[in-house]
């Protein structure tokens, strides 16, 4: 089953993550693969100043260019994993978040994981 993890944090800090963190993440992805949890795709998002929001409300479209200054936390990156269970995804995402403790001290944020709809695949049971 596939899960997407979206990593959110405050946008105050710009630029790519430190090299040590990138290397640690690479290693984590390799370890995960050896345990049968495969990263299908991943990417980092550029600042919200490069983005826009297109909203449909009350039959009216509103387009709002970034940056999204009112947002407390914004999505900075995502990764899609193919895993055996939701618990496995939580474990790997926890390990991913943990890397920041050592390699990007002071960073705070939240990773939201969501299961992707797949044809023929059941949603995982809530107990898992």
Partner 1 sequence: MTATDTHRAIDAVFRIEQAKLIAGLTRLVRDIGVAEELAQDALVAALEQWPRSGIPDNPGAWLMTAAKHKAIDHFRRNRLRERKAEELGYEREIEQETAQPDPDEALDDQFGDDLLRLVFISCHPILSPEAQTALTLRLLGGLTSDEIARAFLLPEPTIQQRIVRAKRMLSDKRVPFEVPRGAELEARLSSVLSVIYLIFNEGYAATAGEDWMRPQLCQEALRLGRILAELAREEPEVHGLVALMEIQSSRFGARTLPSGEPVLLLDQDRARWDRLLIRRGLAAFGRAEALNAASARAPGPYVLQAAIAACHARAGTADQTDWARIVGLYAKLGEVTPSPVIELNRAVALAMLLGPEAGLNLVDALTAEPALRTYHLLPSVRGDLLRQLGRFDEARAEFERAAALTRNERERNLLLARAAACEAKSDGQKQQK
Q: Note the residues at the interface with partner 1 (CB under 8 A).
A: 27, 30-31, 33-38, 40-41, 84-85, 87-88, 90-92, 94, 98, 118-121, 128
Which residues does residue 9 pair with via DSSP β-bridges, in sequence order?
Answer: 74, 109
Smallest distance, partner 1 to C-beta of residue 18, A: 19
**Comparison of 30 and 53: residue with beta carbon closer to partner 1:** 30
**Comparison of 21 and 90: residue with beta carbon closer to partner 1:** 90
**Comparison of 13 and 30: residue with beta carbon closer to partner 1:** 30
Smallest distance, partner 1 to C-beta of residue 9, A: 22
What are the residues whose beta carbons fall under 8 Å from the beta carbon of 11, sequence distance 6 or more? 47, 48, 67, 71, 74, 76
Q: Any idea what DSSP says for residue 27?
A: H
Smallest distance, partner 1 to C-beta of residue 106, A: 19
């Amino acid at each position: 089953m596939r899960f997407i993890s979206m990593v959110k944090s405050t946008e105050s800090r710009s630029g790519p993550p430190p090299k040590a963190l990138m290397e640690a993440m690479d290693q984590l992805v390799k370890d995960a693969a050896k345990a049968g949890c495969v990263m299908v795709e991943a990417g980092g998002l550029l600042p919200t100043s490069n983005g826009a929001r297109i909203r449909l409300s009350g039959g009216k479209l509103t387009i709002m260019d970034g940056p999204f200054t009112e947002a407390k936390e914004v999505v900075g990156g995502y990764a899609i994993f193919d895993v055996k269970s939701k618990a496995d995804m939580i474990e790997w995402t926890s390990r991913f978040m943990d890397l920041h403790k050592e390699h990007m001290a002071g960073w705070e944020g939240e990773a939201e994981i969501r299961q992707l709809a797949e044809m023929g695949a059941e949603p995982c049971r809530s107990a898992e």
